Structure 1
Amino acid sequence: MSATACPTMDFYGSLQSAFDFFNEQLFDNSLPPCLITLRSSSRVYGYHQADRFISKSGQMLDEMGLHPGFFTLRSVEAVLSTLVHEMVHHWQHHFGTATPSTAHNQEWANKMESIGLMPSDNGLPGGKKTGRTMSHYILPEGQFLAACKSFVDGGFELPWFDRQLPSMPEVQVQKQEALKAAGVEVEVSLPPVEIIPKVLPKEEEGQEKPALYMPQPRQAPTREKLMCPECGAKAWVSPGTDIICGECEVHMQDAASVKAPVDKAINSFT
């Protein structure tokens, strides 16, 4: 079936083929199945969550979430390195010892480095290798890059790219320039953000609808929600408005900072 006829299968199939390839090349086919998801609600490149999904029979699966917006901004090698980053978490959950308080401990860092990805909290040489929030960079002579190049040269490609960019393209360019300045230079493919606008059909070039775009910044709220701290009554008002509850004769407060009275909360369910 063609990509146009079944884009969902085509897209997720490409990610599954990448998982299977790196499972064989870097993990000796030891990793159990997981559920790969695409989620753009987070600003991170990806994440791993153990036992996130369950079947009716009770089988549990880890989730490996990837942010599709960064598929557009980053090279395919960088995207695949994020997939492998999360596969290391998957490996550690099943065969190592994860640390609940620190998602990236020393065991995880050692495994990353052994397969050619250097942990770094700032994505640059010299950064911390362990911690709650962690990035990485590709080692030029590492096992990952060699395997990745053979995979891409063999025809692997991502078929679809999110038109809504999660950040400005310049951010990724600056990261690559910083790596080069630090002496880490890896030859990678052009990111789609540099290709897609140039390959649009000519008849679309003059249209107002761009190939890729950044979402409009959120406007300042025109209303805010207040709540009475005594009875739980609510009101939507213009920002900065001070009103008094007619029932309790007390000033209403920002609803987010007020704990609803217990009896009011119970009554809301009856």
Structure 2
Amino acid sequence: MVRPTEKTYDELQDAYDFFNRELFGGQLPDCIITLQREKRTMGYFSPNRFVSQHGLTQDEIALNPIYFDLTDITETMQTIAHEMAHQWQQHYGQRKSRHGYHNKEWAAKMIEIGLMPTDTGKPGGKTTGFKISDYPIERGAFLESVRKLKKEKFAISWRDRFSLVQQTMEEGAQPITVVTDTLTGEEVTHPRSKTKYVHQCVDEQTGEITDQNVWGKPGLNLVCGDCGRGFEQT
């Protein structure tokens, strides 16, 4: 019998290897895949995050099991491919993004592999910025690859029991997270009273403007680490 840890990571490694062949021509180096419960994050890429006893480094791709879907693998596979595009840019890109930013080079690679970047999660959104999601392009390479995976009966076997099913943000303050227990089907709502701070960051090189939002307790003095300007409390 395959143990749960082994099965979980073997499945994720198999997905990574498959997309590396199908979407990136086998270019990407090995990485270490981890499971992290980063708030409001489906996944992230961190270059050279791990080091061995011999001084060798490895990139990290982190995935949030709260968002895993055991019935349809598509969205989880989107997250893996999204982060692999960041890894591709780290190793082969000519205009690397600053930390957390999604630039035009990364967006072009995403479109090439069949994922359309968008800041709204829907068609017509901005393709660059800090908070960028994506959706599959019809008849694109990504969807074709996922169809192949499904034909091979590929599956994600384990997920977080308490899964985020909805997240809404009331105007000005009061983030609300709705969590469901996948065993009982019960929903638990966790309101948290926080104040919204807003800022428009201007890239001095390109002139590109990025809207940034932060939530925290009232009265914070927040400064943007990229441009040095302050956030405004709403």
Structure 2 length-normalised TM: 0.71
Select the structure of larger CA radius of gyration: 1
Given candidates 79, 83, 88, the residue that maps to 1:86 is 83
Please name the residue that 2:128 is paired with: 130
Please name the residue that 1:22 is paired with: 19
Please name the residue that 1:107 is paired with: 105
**Contact in 2 for aligned 1:46/1:64 (Cα 8 Å):** yes
1:123 alignment partner AA: G
Please name the residue that 2:151 is paired with: 153
**Contact in 2 for aligned 1:121/1:131 (Cα 8 Å):** yes
Residue 75 of structure 1, CA deviation: 3.0
User: Which whole-Å CA distance do the structure 2 matches of 1:41 and 1:9 have between them?
Assistant: 22
Q: Which stretches in structure 1 are left out of the alignment for 5+ residues? A: 172-192, 198-209, 221-255, 258-270
Please name the residue that 1:69 is paired with: 66
- For the residue of structure 2 that corresponds to 1:49, the secondary structure is strand
* Structure 1 residues 70 and 101: CA distance shift in structure 2, 3 A: closer
- Flag the structure with higher strand content: 2
Q: How many residue pairs end up in the alignment? A: 184
Residue 134 of structure 1, CA deviation: 0.5
- For the residue of structure 1 that corresponds to 2:153, the secondary structure is coil
Q: Which stretches in structure 2 are left out of the alignment for 5+ residues? A: 169-179, 194-218, 221-234
- For the residue of structure 2 that corresponds to 1:72, the secondary structure is coil
**Contact in 2 for aligned 1:163/1:212 (Cα 8 Å):** no
Given candidates 190, 193, 203, the residue that maps to 1:217 is 190
- For the residue of structure 2 that corresponds to 1:130, the secondary structure is coil
Moved >6 Å (runs of 4+) = none
1:75 alignment partner AA: D
* RMSD of aligned residue pairs (Cα, Å): 2.7
- For the residue of structure 2 that corresponds to 1:40, the secondary structure is coil
2:190 alignment partner AA: P
Residue 163 of structure 1, CA deviation: 1.1
Deviations 1:198-242 (A, max 9, x none): xxxxxxxxxxxx44555563789xxxxxxxxxxxxxxxxxxxxxx
Structure 1 length-normalised TM: 0.62
**Contact in 1 for aligned 2:70/2:159 (Cα 8 Å):** no
Please name the residue that 2:210 is paired with: none
User: Which whole-Å CA distance do the structure 2 matches of 1:132 and 1:146 have between them?
Assistant: 28
Deviations 1:97-153 (A, max 9, x none): 312156210000000001100000011111000011100000111011001101111
Residue 41 of structure 1, CA deviation: 3.2
- Flag the structure with higher helix content: 1
Given candidates 103, 117, 120, the residue that maps to 2:118 is 120
2:46 is the counterpart of 1:49: yes
